[in-house]
Structure 1
Amino acid sequence: MKEKSAEEMLRDLEPESDIREYKGFMAKVISAIAITFSIFQLYTAIYGVLDAQLQRAVHLGFGLALIYLLYPTCKSWSRNKLHPLDFILSILGAAAPAYILISYNELVLRAGAINNTDMFVGCLGVLLVIEATRRVVGIPMVLVALIFLAYAFVGPYAPGILAHRGLSLKELIGHLYFTTEGIFGIPLGVSSTFIFLFILFGAYLEATGLGKFFIDIANAIAGWASGGPAKVAVLSSGLMGTVSGSSVANVAGTGSFTIPMMKKLGYHKDFAGAVEAAASTGGQLMPPVMGAAAFLMAEFVGVPFLEIVKAATIPACLYFAGVWIGVHLEAKRNNLKGIPRDQLPKAWILFKERGHLAIPLIVIIYLLVSGYTPMKAALWAIFLSIAVSMLRKSTRMKPIEIVRGLEKGAKGVLGVLVACASAGIIIGVVTKTGVGLKLASALLDLSGGLLLPTMFFTMLTAIILGMGVPTTANYVITSTIAAPALVQMGIPILAAHMFVFYFGIIADVTPPVALAAYAGSAISGGNALKTGVNASKLAIAAFLIPYIFVASPVLLMIDATPGALIWATFTALVGMIGLSAAMIGYLIAPIHPIMRVLFFVGGLMMVDPASITDFIGAAILIVCMILQYYKKRKINQQALNI
């Protein structure tokens, strides 16, 4: 069977990647629309955004027009020819939001009282968003939106606390389409400002060759070590995570290089795919850019984006440390060597030739720390990424590549854009019916008012939603429904939102629907389920750390002294060694199943920042390590006797 390319694999796993590829006149039309879209976004970033509803309407209009031109109604339709129905829907997709631009003053004067024309346009707009969501994001997200829409009407017949007075169609459409609490709410507002610019920034960084530079640097740093290619996958995926917000895209990008290297070295194909899946999924957790949901979190929590970056730093480092330790122990268990140094690139040569490409990333961190808004920081970084590419002939971007960057950025935002618009429908129903607080109360009742069961049910909700809903929409739903329950129990709001954010992301490696693991297995030729199980083992930190920072927010730098922060980080790292040893079944010698349980318990207690658990965990791990040392001596002695 012919192996699929990275692009073919992406199209199979992510509806967002399955687009038409036009040639000739239509290709030029698409390019012109996409470039105009990017220019509008850059113009408003430079000279000031429009009024909220106007900015978001233009953003949605461009997005819907492009979606209906690029994504066919049916998968069986031609990928290089525009169907008349999609052309009509594209025109309507641009016209429905344009109605708000044209009638803005009149709509403001009417203050929410909508007429028959408004009603028709509003219904059309909602339907167009739902259909666009089906094409780009997939059926699961559409089903969630439709369930909430249905709830708006059947509320009077709902049982118990879920009942509400009910809404008329006119009330619902007026709220969803003609206010900033529905489709044109905060999620689309963030998409039309911060997210677009960061995606455009990522498009230009990719065009400069920064991704290949990251892989080469990772090779130079870690390729020679035990299990070198696996460590290269972890390091390069962590670096790529600073500019990529998609687990599957990250797997396809770096995995097409690292997974064959891991298999060649001797890693089993199921483990090789799992390494890349776990590492790539962590990319959405890695500052400074993270996934698109991080920008929404800043708005929902009401803190500067820099606070989100600070809070995410230590948990993200612990996550990647856990994956790194896991691949190291697997390499030691199977005696897998690294790549000979003479076959690897030299780090100092790479930095000399292409190190300047990383300058925009350094600058964007500096600007965020200096108090710049994310939008201004991303804007400067975009221009700087183009400028630094000109410093060397080998990295210099041609004028046509700069223009293509505008086109790629506009196309790259479509998935997030329509997910945000669709999430706005959910938020609109929640705010109009008050179901958010009701569901939070129901969650508290189900858990008996206890913190641990509440966190467990919240985790299940986020993971189940994450099996079919993108991270951005997943976060919007869980932060609206589940996070308030944690806040009601006295958990800091940032910790509560970070909790649901983590589990929405980790769904990408959680079987049975683990898209990043599917992508990894598609490249490795392994079993998708086994790859997902291995990826979950490697990503064990992501399943545990959220519980820890909710119980003790010191890892999020919330009210943390330097001493407490250093100690919590150190003990958590030691705990990760214990947990990884338990998952892999090896530390310096094979571990007996009973000992694996002890390693797991000791590691778990060390990850918990509490002093008593640190003491107990350290005692357990010390005993386990001593027994490992004697077992290793026995194995070596037996080898000598032979």
Structure 2
Amino acid sequence: MSQKRNKLKESQSSTEQPSDQSDENSAQDKKILEKYSRESKIRSFTNKKMIYFVFMLAIAYSAFHLYITFNPLPALQQRSLHVAFGLALIFLIYPTFAKQDRAKIPFYDWILFALSIFSTVYLMYEYNAIVTERGGIPTNMDIIVAIITVVLVLEAARRVTGIILPIFALIFLAYPFISHMEFMPFRLMTRDFDLGDIFGQMFLKTEGLFSTAIGASVNFIFLFILFGAFLAKSGMGQFFNDIALALAGHRQGGPAKVAVVSSGFMGSINGAAVANVVGTGAFTIPLMKKIGYHRNFAGAVEASASVGGQVLPPIMGASAFIMAETTGIQYGTIALAALIPAVLYYLAVIMQVHFRAGKRDLRGIPKADLPRVKEVMKERGHLLLPIVGLIVMLYQNVPVGYAAFYTIVLTVIVATLRKSTRMSIKDILDAMAQGARQSLAVMIACAVVGIIIGVVSLTSFGTVMTSSIASLGSGSLFLTLFFTMIASMLLGMGLPSIPAYIITATMAAPALAAFDVPILVAHMFVFYFGIFANVTPPVALAAFAGAGVSGGNPMSTGFQALKLSLAGFIIPYLFVYNPAMLLIDTEGVATNATEFGVPPIMDVVLIVVTAIIGIVALSSALEGFLKTPMNPIYRIVLGAGALALILPEVTSDIIGFVVVGFMFVLNYMQHRRTNAVSTT
């Protein structure tokens, strides 16, 4: 298998550097990742004592989470320790400015480090008085520490995620200070709030900085990020690449299909779209360019596949667990509901790359240069066992935190079965440190989202947002869905998947309750649009990262990614109008119900079959190719037939079948005539 991997490396783009320049390649990938992902801009220490100190602190952060899985603390204490520990690491690891010397830590960052520790020490020391004696009324010292902590969180978020999220939080934080003033619109006016009201909400309760968002981060998001770090250390990324190459590399447009499959699986596990684009794209994008895909399209394929991983079960970038926590619906129900929409989305992406390859006659990689499925499974197939074990545990209703812990242990045990995947003590410690570092972006984003949640729960802003969307919808479900989509995309723009979902679930999802849209359907709807904001120009970070790897134009790559991801913008409307696509039966079920029946099997089969044919036809129309190229009129007619098939109505299905069937036959006959002429 190693010989075939060497052959495959030799077949990659001539622009790819020789193996002896791999360090230069890694440095280039790092620059691209830092350009489009602020969380990757970290310090590089030269002092060995400093390296060791940060390394041990990161390991301690992971060890703390493993410990509290079975020995939990009171919620406020546990969440404050999680935030303070993370803040301390951020101020040591992340530079104040991008161009700052990254080899040293300036004195003021040591001050911020100390203040981060002080904030949780104070809360732990005063905890009994806060809970039992003060009745929620903050003292002056409480307010001072709360203000310091909010400032620390906003500054840490600026360093890790960029300026957008902190500004967003500051706008919300300003609202209770001015919401009683006369210049405010009547619907936005509230009572007068003082500093104690606002910062007591942020710091002394579990409805502000230490909200359910941080609760989810400390209870299971951290553990799943840690699980992903252990999988990566064991070689799971290599396994996904190899198995995708073995299955699809030789087919028409093979490298693009490899990118879709491998990036989808890795995106589901690690939940970091931009990092996934750079990590897997460094391998797949040169292969796509080598066989003839344009660099813009190659970057877009990687971006659309990586972003789609956030909606792909079983892990969904850990968002499924947040949704379970928010809605009260069991994880198994959510993962099962997400399955058909995710498969349809990936089918749409694969079919577009397939038709693009057909139109340009792009061949795959010779089988002789590819690994074989049997060899790949023999070498690394055992790494699937932890994922299978995780799914089984979650469907057996094992608590999510316990399941994540057991899966980490199982990963270490299973990895020992082969020498190539076995982890040493150093590898285990490296995985713990890496997992802690990777968790910081999610932790700080959840903390900032907590500020927004705190303001929404303190004031009436959430109700105003919901009623505004409903008013714009004018009593129409479709218009309400449309404006909810716009709101979700704006709220999710440039954010990681988890905070994007939390914000959209808080602000936009309630607008659908007035139309008796079931809670799971509403949350899945806003989740999709919050996620796919990452491939929607002008802020398409995943697509821009793909362009950085491919050497393409960022905006052109963004629009190509938007086109490839089009199914992701259609599918949510489908499951709102027909929840059977989510494998739930909502007849007679109240809007806020968390238990659903199973829909009739024939309903599911009909929906899936018509949606598959419609998705294939839509992909063909978008690319202008089936068996032979189509003119614009044919593409429009086929696209209309595809949309009619996708719509969950019997009449539209019949019309769609007729139109799509006629266009397919017409194109096939045209293909035969073209072949007949060419052979004569």
Question: Residue 144 of structure 1 corresponds to which residue in structure 2?
Answer: 168
Cα deviation 1:460-488 (Å, max 9, x = unaligned): 12222333333222222221111100122
Give yes or no for contact 1:97–1:125 (8 Å, CA) kept in 2.
Answer: no
Say if 2:167 is the partner of 1:128.
no
Give yes or no for contact 2:211–2:450 (8 Å, CA) kept in 1.
Answer: yes
Say if 2:249 is the partner of 1:226.
no
Mapped partners of 2:672, 2:156: distance in 1:
63
Question: Residue 241 of structure 1 corresponds to which residue in structure 2?
Answer: 267
Give yes or no for contact 2:494–2:540 (8 Å, CA) kept in 1.
Answer: no
Give yes or no for contact 1:60–1:417 (8 Å, CA) kept in 2.
Answer: yes
| AA partner of residue 522 (structure 2) | A
Say if 2:111 is the partner of 1:88.
yes
Moved more, 236-245 or 359-368: 236-245
Question: Residue 84 of structure 2 corresponds to which residue in structure 1?
Answer: 61
Gaps of 5+ in 2: 1-14, 16-23, 586-598
Question: Residue 287 of structure 1 corresponds to which residue in structure 2?
Answer: 313
Question: Residue 51 of structure 1 corresponds to which residue in structure 2?
Answer: 74
Mapped partners of 2:320, 2:179: distance in 1:
32
| AA partner of residue 121 (structure 1) | V
Q: 1:609: Cα distance to partner?
A: 2.4
Mapped partners of 1:294, 1:421: distance in 2:
19
| AA partner of residue 160 (structure 2) | V
Give yes or no for contact 2:271–2:497 (8 Å, CA) kept in 1.
Answer: no
Cα deviation 1:272-327 (Å, max 9, x = unaligned): 11111111111111111112433222111111222221111111111111111111
Q: 1:67: Cα distance to partner?
A: 0.7
Cα deviation 1:183-204 (Å, max 9, x = unaligned): 1110000000110100000000
Mapped partners of 1:580, 1:282: distance in 2:
16
Question: Residue 383 of structure 1 corresponds to which residue in structure 2?
Answer: 409
Question: Residue 155 of structure 1 corresponds to which residue in structure 2?
Answer: 179
Q: 1:610: Cα distance to partner?
A: 2.2
Question: Residue 669 of structure 2 corresponds to which residue in structure 1?
Answer: 630
Q: 1:561: Cα distance to partner?
A: 2.1
Q: 1:628: Cα distance to partner?
A: 0.9
- Three-state SS of the structure 1 residue aligned to 2:105 is coil
Cα deviation 1:194-247 (Å, max 9, x = unaligned): 101000000000000010111011000000100110111111112212312011
Mapped partners of 1:602, 1:291: distance in 2:
34
Question: Residue 255 of structure 1 corresponds to which residue in structure 2?
Answer: 281
| AA partner of residue 16 (structure 1) | E
| AA partner of residue 233 (structure 2) | A
Mapped partners of 1:188, 1:567: distance in 2:
41
| AA partner of residue 15 (structure 1) | R
Counterpart of 1:118 (choices 142, 147, 157) is 142
Q: 1:505: Cα distance to partner?
A: 1.0
Give yes or no for contact 1:292–1:416 (8 Å, CA) kept in 2.
Answer: no
Q: 1:605: Cα distance to partner?
A: 2.0
Listed as ranges, the matches of 1:99-498 within 5 Å are 99-109=122-132, 110-157=134-181, 158-498=184-524
Mapped partners of 2:187, 2:630: distance in 1:
51
What percent of counterpart residues are identical? 46
Counterpart of 2:102 (choices 72, 79, 93) is 79
Mapped partners of 1:125, 1:292: distance in 2:
27
Cα deviation 1:323-377 (Å, max 9, x = unaligned): 1111111111111111111111011011111111111011101111111122111
CA RMSD of aligned residues (A): 1.4
Question: Residue 520 of structure 1 corresponds to which residue in structure 2?
Answer: 546
Question: Residue 42 of structure 2 corresponds to which residue in structure 1?
Answer: 19
Gaps of 5+ in 1: none
Cα deviation 1:478-506 (Å, max 9, x = unaligned): 21111100122211111111111111111
Q: 1:132: Cα distance to partner?
A: 1.0
Q: 1:449: Cα distance to partner?
A: 1.9
Listed as ranges, the matches of 1:523-562 within 5 Å are 523-559=549-585, 560-562=599-601
- Three-state SS of the structure 2 residue aligned to 1:291 is helix
- Three-state SS of the structure 2 residue aligned to 1:32 is helix
Counterpart of 1:579 (choices 594, 618, 640) is 618
> Normalization by structure 2: what TM-score?
0.92
Mapped partners of 1:61, 1:448: distance in 2:
45
Mapped partners of 1:156, 1:445: distance in 2:
23
| AA partner of residue 678 (structure 2) | A
Mapped partners of 1:166, 1:528: distance in 2:
46
Give yes or no for contact 2:137–2:196 (8 Å, CA) kept in 1.
Answer: no
Mapped partners of 1:348, 1:568: distance in 2:
35
Cα deviation 1:66-111 (Å, max 9, x = unaligned): 0111111122221111111111101111211221111110111212
Give yes or no for contact 1:588–1:629 (8 Å, CA) kept in 2.
Answer: yes
Say if 2:34 is the partner of 1:8.
no
Say if 2:621 is the partner of 1:598.
no
Q: 1:593: Cα distance to partner?
A: 0.9
Q: 1:435: Cα distance to partner?
A: 1.1
